[in-house]
Structure 1
Amino acid sequence: MNRFLCIIFLLFFASCGQPGEPLFIENNGRAQGSTYQIKYESPKGQDFGKEIEEILRQIDLSMSTYVPSSLVSQINKGNTPVEVDSLFITVLNRSTEIAEETAGSFDPTVGPLVNLWGFGFKEIRQDVSADTLTQVLSKVGYESIQIDDMRVSIPEGFTIDFNAIAQGFTVDHIAEFLENHKVENYMVEVGGEVRAKGVNESGNVWRIGVDKPQEEIDAENRFQFVLELENAGLATSGNYRRFWVDEETGTRYSHTIDPKIGYPARNRLLSASIIAPSAMDADAYATVCMVQGLERCKELLASKENFEGYLIFSGDENEWDTFITEGFQAFIIEPVN
């Protein structure tokens, strides 16, 4: 997954105060193959760091393909119904809803194709012949997922992978935990997916910077834009850092795979930043945009209430160009030329 968000804090958070008093607290670490950063005003000065670590652990035990004993790893053995938890079924149900809505542009069973093209865990590219592609495509299709109440199974050879939605869900789940503990001001970021509510310690709306679509980060000229995010989720997906180039043909293949045709998506879209009511939806639909391309992404944004987008694409002469919805523009405070 592509993670290109950088959280900007203009003031450092103090870690002092009397027990029982409101206090801004920061928790950070590593999770889900990336990092997390969470800042919140705790009404009674309580540090929820241990509880947040437990939430991350439970999500890994539910849907991490890197944990051999996880629920998803058990399901991926094939042909055996596995009783799942509420975390898993929530993400699975939303994944299949988005898959149906997008006619398969989003598909939680795309894993075999990702591995075929060398973007999986082992990062080993296989021989992508027509026969091989046909064979692998026969093991992809969300319609093959069997759901019976809380029991889930897939045919042998299929896999479920929530890579394009799980981090957004994690952000929402932690945000819900904080709100249940009366936290009104917070920023939750996991692997670049963000959700924010209220204000930071300085009393300002949370500020988020989104990287330019370039292979290397330029520390002095890093951000495409900076926005103020309030009571919404934000995710960015792009194809400019994870790709490989065929040495014989010079063809560049991105990590975003079109599940319907089996090939990496090839279109003019370089990155898609999506604002949505939830980080989970922002995460998933950013991937949908990268698969469907510029024009279809514009149509999608126009059709969905409370969804906004900032799209960067290559112009006629290979220069960068942008499409920004009116609602997204209202969030931006520092456009970058």
Structure 2
Amino acid sequence: MRRVLLPHYISDAVPPEHAVLHDLRGLSMGTSWSVRLAAPLAVDLAGLQQGLQQQLDDVVAQMSHWEAGSHLGRYNRAPAGTRQVLPPAFFDVLSFALDVACASGAAYNPCAGALVNLWGFGPSERYDQPGYTAPTPAQLVQACAGIAPQTLAPDAATRSVCQPGAVQLDLSAVAKGYGVDRLAFYLQAQGYQHYLVEVGGELRGAGTKPDGQPWWVVLEQPPERNASGVPESIVLALHGLAVATSGDYRRYFEHDGQRYSHTIDPRTGWPISNALASVTVIHPQCMAADAWSTALTVLGPEAGLHLAERQGLAARLLCRNGDGTYTETLSSAFRSMLDR
């Protein structure tokens, strides 16, 4: 039997009369995106598709660490000691990421791009390419030495940040969530109030479907063969909310018999090795759900739950027990949404 999560606030707004479901989809950020829209039959789908794609193209042009010509790429190559003026969206996303870094004790750190690259999860010299070798402890120590978030010294008045020298920004743990938010903002600006937006499995919903039902989504579960060991599934009415999940099963590699997760602990330089299989965060903003799920994952079960409670986050933490079963821990904000 599935458990049900309901938002604390449910709007009484209904879709337009005779609304139907429209589906749009595309590719961006190395993954796919989709939009389900409850709107009248006569909708300029081609124009809407183009506008939605442009929102994500703009995020890539500003914040991609895979595109050398992006604003982020240019920042990463800037001379030491210079201040770099950023586009408004880039500055806002980076500022939020730095706030999460501060609140999490740097368990999440947008300045850790050099570590991501060393572990083969960047755009070049990847773990799945011939000749890759895992970094040495000395390399990790050196990479960790130059990633203090406070050295960026963001200035809101000028929208500028410092490049202290060799800092490699990586916003992959927040930019995809921000992309989800951008699609939602665009739909709202076009007058659409009822939609479900998804980018690479992260979602945000508003309003309802034409039949008045909310956008029901099933929270992501670890893809284990032994389903009996996984707690019963949870469905969420994604109404004015976003959801993101960080899981150690998404990307990893094995090297010399050792499994390495793509989630790096910026404080040590090593991939995480705690027992957390996944962390799901529900939040009004997908950007926030994205970043916080990563921070809680790095912190681990106990410290992660403590931070979730301190921040008032609706979080679900699944911890492997080692025998094929899981321990599920829910924050107070998450439990308050459960329909018992």
Return the TM-score normalized by structure 2.
0.83
Residue 196 of structure 2, aligned match among 187, 194, 203: 187
Quote the sequence identity (%). 28
Amino acid at match of 2:62: S
CA distance in 1, matches of 2:93, 2:315: 23
257-266 vs 177-186, which deviates more? 177-186
Distance across 2 between alignment mates of 1:236 and 1:127: 27
**For each residue in 1:177-236, what CA deviation from the matched residue of structure 2 results, as whole angstroms up to 9, or x when unmatched?**
222222221111111111111112332110112332136899xx9x94332221111000
Q: Which of 203, 212, 216 is matched with 1:207 structurally?
A: 216
Deviation at 1:96, TM superposition (A): 0.8
Which residue of structure 2 lines up, in the alignment, with residue 297 of structure 1? 304
More displaced, 310-319 or 321-330? 321-330
Give me the CA root mean square deviation: 2.7
Q: 1:331 to 1:36 in 2, by over 3 A?
A: farther
Cα distance in 1 for partners of 2:225, 2:94 equals 34
Amino acid at match of 1:291: V
1:78/1:153 contact within 8 Å kept: no
Distance 1:230 1:72 in 2: 33
State the secondary structure of the residue aligned to 2:166. coil
Q: Report if the CA contact (8 A) 1:145-1:152 is conserved.
A: yes
Aligned to 1:234: 243
Gaps of 5+ in 1: 1-19
Matches for 1:15-26 after TM superposition, within 5 Å = 22-26=19-23
What's the offset of the Cα at 1:326? 5.4
- Cα separation, 2, equivalents of 1:278 and 1:42: 23
- Aligned pairs, number: 310
Query: Which SS does the other structure have where 2:244 is aligned?
Result: strand
Counterpart CA distance in 1 for 2:166 and 2:60 is: 22
Of the two structures, which has the highest relative contact order with CA contacts closer than 8 Å and spacing of 6 or more? Answer: 2
Unaligned runs of 5+ residues in structure 2 are 1-16
- The equivalent residue for 1:280 is 287
Letter of the structure 2 residue corresponding to residue 26 of structure 1: D
The corresponding residue for 1:244 is 253
Partner of 1:87: 89
- Structure 2 residue matching 1:233: 3-state secondary structure: strand
Give 1:78 deviation, angstroms: 2.4
Range that drifts further, 75-84 or 58-67:
75-84
Q: Contact 2:65 / 2:123 at 8 angstroms: preserved in 1?
A: no
In 1, the alpha carbon distance for the partners of 2:171 and 2:295 equals 14
Preserved contact between residue 215 and residue 240 of structure 1 (Cα < 8 Å): no
Q: Which moved more, 1:33-42 or 1:283-292?
A: 33-42
**1:45 alignment counterpart:** 43
Q: Distance in 1 between matches of 2:328 and 2:263?
A: 20
Partner of 1:113: 115
Q: CA deviation at 1:276?
A: 1.0
Q: For residues 131 and 326 of structure 1, do their structure 2 counterparts lie closer, same or farther at Cα, with a shift above 3 Å needed? A: closer
Normalising by structure 1, we get a TM-score of 0.83
CA-CA distance at 1:330 after TM superposition: 6.3
Q: Where does 1:64-213 land on structure 2 (aligned, <5 Å)?
A: 64-79=64-79, 80-122=82-124, 123-124=126-127, 125-148=132-155, 149-213=158-222
Q: 1:36 to 1:317 in 2, by over 3 A?
A: same
Between 323-332 and 142-151, report the one with greater CA deviation: 323-332
C-alpha contact 1:71 1:82 (8 A) present in aligned 2: no
Deviations 1:279-323 (A, max 9, x none): 111000100111000111211222223x21221111264522212
* Cross-structure match for 2:25: 28
